[in-house]
């Protein structure tokens, strides 16, 4: 049976439900399966099912202490009637490649796949571990995580959620998605500051008031939780299964995946799929102008001391990709991982060895593309294929062109957001006129493509605004205490 250990101390060993409940290991490390050998399986026994069947099979391997029956219930609860596509993550052939659309969930971004699942895994873990406190989720967001988390936790018993976002620092669409969030246990609050202020504030609250009032415990919906990572492993199998069904590949053929990367969670899920036995070729890590991972995958030198750029793919704007620590553990071992993370904290950089780099390079390839290259990809693919990509997917598409090799393995580009969610930047890329209002921009995208605006996005302009609070940064603590004492 799989146990979870900390990347910084393998003596810290817990069950999967405990790892989900704790989020992060007490020593600051991340929970990972102790032995990669334990997750190995025959991929045929997974890909012959529909998406929910594949989810059951994958979750059963990673979360053995939940038991088969409970997992079946949790999968149903997580995916029934929440996604607009019957396949959940449909694969579309575009030109000579394929696009895996991960954005058919309620908030039109790929984070829905995991954040539909995490609340259910968490509440079950609470019961299994005899944990009686109410769980209050605290999240700082620059956009996508906030709305997906609000939606995932909405009316989930035993939980409540407070999302802090920078006032004036998110798009009109993203703001409306958050402030119109339903649910008696949800709350979105603007802070007068930028995203970093919001994030620093939230981190301080976890330290200062882990229990804001008696009977309430703070927790995080951050992508370092293994309960967010594992549900993402499923769609790599789904992609492979769809490629086989359409005759695009033969059984056993390797497939390359190109992943628009920020915190390294999505692509780490691909590494787990590979280690489970799925025929994965290369994992191409696509970055925007914030190219810290591109340099790392080329040289083995991770250096966060660089300029931070705001781009048109904001969910990939990042300097520290937390989930990379999980890969480091498997490749470099505990001792080196501890050293590298210490170096990163103290000096802002670290360097792995030649051998470690060679092993990482046997699977991972780094590439980056600028806003302009991403925009050109949106335009070119639309003109040639009448297929519209969002600004994150287009970075991956541009990186695919840069890393094509002679062997040309079949490739799958992971599409992480609906183009309607980033309508302004998408219209700009197409050379179309843009409006000050996102409602007009979405309609314009619709006129151009003829494809329907996703329900969850079309509705936000009419919905009631439920969350109006705007507070100063130094009021966050009191805000959380007030909300938890009133049960929101
Ligand atoms: C979060 C996000 C990403 C990055 O995913 P990671 O798992 O953090 O690497 C990419 N695109 C979109 C649209 C996202 O919301």
Distance in Å, CA 129 to ligand 1 centroid: 31
Question: Which residue range(s) make up the domain with 294?
Answer: 91-108+227-454
Q: Which of 13-17, 91-95, 265-269, 405-409 has the lowest mean pLDDT?
A: 405-409
User: Hunting for tokens 């009977």 — which residue is that?
Assistant: 215
Tell me whether residue 242 is in a domain.
Answer: yes
Position in ligand 1 atom list of the atom nearest CA 318: 8
- What is the rounded distance in angstroms from the CA atom of residue 177 to the CA atom of residue 270? 29
260 lines ligand 1 (CB under 6 A): yes
Distance in Å, CA 265 to ligand 1 centroid: 8
Dihedral pair phi/psi, residue 185, rounded to 5°: -110, 15
Is residue 31 over pLDDT 70? yes
Say what the pLDDT of residue 469 is.
97
pLDDT digits (tens, 9 = 90+) for 431-485: 999 999 999 999 999 999 888 899 999 999 999 999 999 999 999 999 999 999 8
Confidence grade of residue 169 (pLDDT, cut at 50, 70, 90)? confident
Residues with Cβ within 8 Å of residue 114, at least 6 apart in sequence? 223, 227, 228, 229, 231, 232, 265
392 lines ligand 1 (CB under 6 A): yes
Tell me whether residue 312 is in a domain.
Answer: yes
Q: Which of 388-397, 399-408, 420-429 has the lowest mean pLDDT?
A: 399-408
The CA-CA-CA angle for residues 371, 376, 378, to 5°, reads 95
Q: Are 302 and 292 in contact (CB under 8 A)?
A: yes
109 lines ligand 1 (CB under 6 A): yes
Higher-confidence residue of 328 and 199: namely: 328
Higher-confidence residue of 183 and 72: namely: 72
Say what the pLDDT of residue 195 is.
85
Say what the pLDDT of residue 196 is.
81
Tell me whether residue 72 is in a domain.
Answer: no
Q: Give nearest CA residue, ligand 1 atom 11.
A: 416
316 lines ligand 1 (CB under 6 A): yes
Higher-confidence residue of 248 and 488: namely: 248
Say what the pLDDT of residue 405 is.
76
Confidence grade of residue 112 (pLDDT, cut at 50, 70, 90)? very high
Percent of the chain with pLDDT over 70: 100
Say what the pLDDT of residue 271 is.
98
Average pLDDT taken over every residue of the chain: 95
Distance in Å, CA 42 to ligand 1 centroid: 29
Tell me whether residue 431 is in a domain.
Answer: yes
Is residue 367 over pLDDT 70? yes
Residues with Cβ within 8 Å of residue 25, at least 6 apart in sequence? 6, 7, 8, 9, 12, 19, 31
pTM more than 0.75: yes
Pairing outcome for strands 216-219 and 134-140: parallel
Tell me whether residue 340 is in a domain.
Answer: yes
Helix spans in 30-131 (H): 44-47, 51-62, 68-79, 111-115, 118-128
Mean pLDDT, residues 296-304 taken together: 98
Say what the pLDDT of residue 230 is.
98
111 belongs to the catalytic site: yes
Is residue 418 over pLDDT 80? yes
Say what the pLDDT of residue 413 is.
98
Is residue 238 over pLDDT 70? yes
Percent of the chain with pLDDT over 90: 89
Say what the pLDDT of residue 409 is.
84
Bridge partner list, 188 = 163
Confidence grade of residue 222 (pLDDT, cut at 50, 70, 90)? confident
Say what the pLDDT of residue 12 is.
94
Tell me whether residue 361 is in a domain.
Answer: yes
Number of domains in the chain: 1
Is residue 209 over pLDDT 90? yes
Structure tokens that stand for 210 in this block:
């882990």
- The active-site residue, picked from 111, 175, 289, 483, is 111
Tell me whether residue 356 is in a domain.
Answer: yes
223 lines ligand 1 (CB under 6 A): yes
Dihedral pair phi/psi, residue 250, rounded to 5°: -100, 155
Tell me whether residue 21 is in a domain.
Answer: no
Say what the pLDDT of residue 6 is.
97
Is residue 406 over pLDDT 70? no
Is residue 188 over pLDDT 80? yes
The CATH number assigned to the domain holding 407 equals 3.40.50.1100
């Amino acid at each position: 049976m799989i146990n979870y250990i900390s990347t910084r101390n393998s003596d810290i060993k817990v069950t999967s439900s405990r790892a989900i409940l704790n989020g992060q290991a007490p020593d600051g490390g991340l929970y990972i399966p102790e032995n990669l050998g334990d997750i190995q399986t025959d991929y045929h026994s997974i890909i012959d099912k529909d998406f929910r069947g594949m989810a059951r099979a994958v979750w059963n391997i990673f979360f053995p202490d939940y038991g088969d029956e409970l997992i079946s219930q949790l999968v149903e609860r997580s995916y029934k009637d929440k996604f607009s596509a019957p396949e959940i993550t449909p694969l579309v052939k575009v030109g000579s490649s394929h696009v895996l659309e991960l954005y058919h969930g309620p908030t039109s971004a790929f984070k829905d796949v995991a954040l539909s699942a995490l609340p259910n895994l968490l509440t079950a873990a609470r019961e299994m571990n005899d944990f009686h406190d109410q769980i209050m989720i605290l999240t700082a967001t620059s956009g996508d995580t906030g709305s997906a988390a609000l939606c995932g936790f909405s009316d989930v018993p035993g939980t409540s959620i407070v999302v802090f976002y920078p006032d004036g620092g998110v798009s009109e669409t993203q703001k409306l998605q958050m402030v119109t969030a339903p649910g008696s246990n949800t709350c979105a609050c603007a802070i007068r500051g930028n995203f970093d202020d919001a994030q620093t504030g939230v981190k301080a609250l976890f330290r200062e008031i882990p229990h804001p009032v008696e009977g309430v415990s703070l927790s995080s919906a951050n992508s370092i939780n293994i309960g967010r990572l594992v549900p993402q492993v499923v769609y790599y199998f789904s992609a492979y299964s769809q490629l086989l069904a359409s005759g695009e590949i033969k059984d056993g053929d390797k497939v390359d995946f190109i992943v628009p990367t920020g915190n390294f969670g999505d692509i780490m899920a691909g590494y787990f799929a590979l280690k489970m036995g799925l025929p994965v070729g290369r994992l191409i890590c696509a970055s925007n102008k914030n190219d810290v991972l591109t340099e790392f995958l080329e040289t083995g030198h991770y250096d966060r001391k660089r300029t931070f750029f705001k781009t048109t793919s904001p969910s990939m704007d990042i300097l520290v990709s937390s989930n990379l620590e999980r890969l480091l553990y498997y490749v470099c071992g505990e001792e080196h991982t501890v050293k590298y993370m210490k170096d990163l904290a103290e000096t802002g950089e670290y360097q792995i060895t030649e051998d470690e780099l060679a092993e990482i390079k046997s699977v991972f390839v780094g590439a980056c593309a600028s806003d302009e290259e991403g925009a050109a990809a949106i335009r070119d693919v639309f003109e040639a294929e009448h297929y519209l990509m969002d600004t994150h997917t287009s970075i991956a598409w541009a990186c695919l062109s840069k890393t094509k090799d002679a062997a040309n393995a079949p490739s799958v580009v992971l599409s992480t957001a609906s183009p309607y969610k980033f309508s302004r930047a998408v219209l700009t890329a197409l050379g179309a006129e843009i409006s000050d209002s996102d409602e007009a921009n979405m309609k314009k995208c619709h006129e151009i493509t003829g494809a329907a605006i996703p329900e969850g996005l079309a509705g936000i302009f009419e919905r009631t605004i439920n969350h109006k609070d705007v507070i100063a940064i130094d009021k966050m603590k009191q805000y959380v205490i007030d909300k938890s004492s009133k049960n929101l």
